[in-house]
Amino acid sequence: MTETHDTTGKRSAKRFGIDHTTGRLILGSISIPLPRSRIARLTIGVLLIFGGVLGFLPVLGFWMLPLGFILLSHDLHLVRRMRRRFSVWWTKRRKS
């Protein structure tokens, strides 16, 4: 899932998301392993979102919000659906 094939047969790296075959979070050229436990992934995702809400504090940041939602979208259908809708909206917005 981290590689996509175009019509010429060349491979290109995926920009962000979860590679379901290896169980890793892909952020550009960075690859982070995810815990195998669903409870651990949910806990980390919720903590990242909570830390992102407190992003105005010095150590925490607003970058934690999207990362938390990406982690939660791996296990929760509602969050996955919202992430896909946002992704489609963002792609349409960038093309126009």
- The string of pLDDT tens digits covering residues 47-60 is 999 999 988 888 78
Q: Look up the domain containing 48 and give its range.
A: 25-82
DSSP state of 24: E
Name which of 44, 90, 89, 88 is nearest 68 in CA terms.
Answer: 44
Confidence of residue 85 (pLDDT cuts 50, 70, 90): very high
* Total domains present in the chain: 1
- pTM for the model stands at 0.71
Give the strand pairing for 24-27 and 30-33.
antiparallel
pLDDT at position 63 is: 86
Q: Does some domain include residue 8? A: no
Separation between Cα atoms, residue 48 and residue 52, nearest integer Å: 6
In sign, the C-alpha dihedral spanning 77, 25, 23, 91 is positive
Q: Does some domain include residue 9? A: no
Name which of 19, 45, 23 is nearest 36 in CA terms.
Answer: 23
Q: Does some domain include residue 90? A: no
User: What residue type is 26 in one-letter code?
Assistant: I
